[in-house]
Amino acid sequence: MELTYLPEGQILSTLRNREYTSSLGGLERAMETGAIIEGTAVLCDGDFNLHVEFPSLAGVRGIIPREEVVWSRDGDPPKDIAILTRVGKAVACKVTGIEAAEGEIPTVHLSRRLAQAECATSYLEGLSPGDIIRAKVTHLESFGAFVDVGCGVASLLSVDCISISRISHPRDRLYNGQMIWCVVKSVDRETGRIFVSTRELLGTWEQNAARFTPGQTVAGIVRSVEDYGVFVELAPNLAGLAEVRDCDREAVRSLVGRTAAVFIKSIIPERMKVKLVLIDAYRSETPPLPRLHYFIRGDETPHIDKWFYSPAGARKRVETIFSEKAGS
């Protein structure tokens, strides 16, 4: 990905950004060349204009007018909450004008809308299903996570695309501000909306199962309690089933989301099964978010056409085929 179109905050401290934002002369060059720069929104005034500061330049006032804060393909005006939630965060923008009257604080007029419009036309519209990109988690909802795929342009990562192992809420896996790898799942060419996924990057069943051996006792996370057993997540793309005695069922049910110690009884590739024995699920501490271990990264593999989760010979087939037709 071009450095210009990274998620907001990723170029703020770069040498290129400092060269543009450390002097009025640099800001003038940014205006002349149409460069996308970053500053930090420090204030939203009563008219919903954003005030921006640059890390290496004091005594300059940057202003993004309300109508220039958010780009919309349909030209819809920005919602108040979309402006307010930018305060305290990095913003990508273009310089549209500089007022430097003698004896007055210089005012730099900025547009985030123009930066996002360029990102959409020069970068995002060129993406295809299967492309692997960087994204930044910006907001979590029960149905999924919104991620910044470039200059603050949002994309949806639905909860079922976060991992193979089921979670009740994206916060079980992600947090705001987290940088992640995503694969483009589909692109709506009419609206320009992009939908992304991460589960295809977190390893196949075999890749994840190879990290474990029968006879080991390992830590996992209790994800659900069913009549026939307890599902314990060993990795974001691998879960096993542990039997539980009836007398323990209610106690275990209250520990969904908690750490559990489990003994690995057997690993059965043809059935994609990991049989476990629950050793201890009575810990009180809340576990940290599981680390996302990427088996596929965009800096090594920029594109995939297909992904097969199931091992060869497995009775169940889990796969993703990336194509414009599949994404339509």
Residue 272 and residue 155 in contact, taking contact as beta carbons nearer than 8 Å: no
Residue type, 138: T
Q: Among 226, 216, 289, 279, which residue's Cα sits nearest to residue 257?
A: 289
Q: Check: CATH 1.10.3720.10 for 205-280?
A: no
- CATH top-level class of 127-202+301-327: mainly beta
Rounded to whole angstroms, how far apart are CA atoms 17 and 153? 19
Residue type, 250: E
Residue type, 307: W
Determine the distance from the C-alpha atom of residue 165 to the mean position of all C-alpha atoms in its chain, rounded to a whole number.
17
**CA dihedral of residues 12, 16, 17, 19 (deg, nearest 10):** 140
> What are the E-state strand segments in 28-153?
37-44, 50-54, 57-64, 90-99, 107-111, 132-141, 144-148
State residue 258's pLDDT score: 83
Point out which residues pair with 181 in neighbouring strands: 134
0.85 exceeded by pTM: yes
Domains of the chain, by residue range, sit at 3-122, 127-202+301-327, 205-280
Point out which residues pair with 98 in neighbouring strands: 108
Q: Check: CATH 2.40.50.140 for 3-122?
A: yes
Q: Do domains 127-202+301-327 and 205-280 have the same CATH topology?
A: yes
The strand pair at 57-64 and 107-111 is best described as: parallel
In order along the chain (328 residues), what is the average pLDDT of each group of 10 residues? 82 94 96 97 96 91 96 87 95 95 87 96 94 96 97 96 93 94 92 93 97 95 86 95 70 78 94 91 59 92 96 90 70
Q: What is the DSSP string of 265-290?
A: EEEEGGGTEEEEEEEE----SPPPPP
Q: Among 272, 237, 106, 97, which residue's Cα sits nearest to residue 166?
A: 237
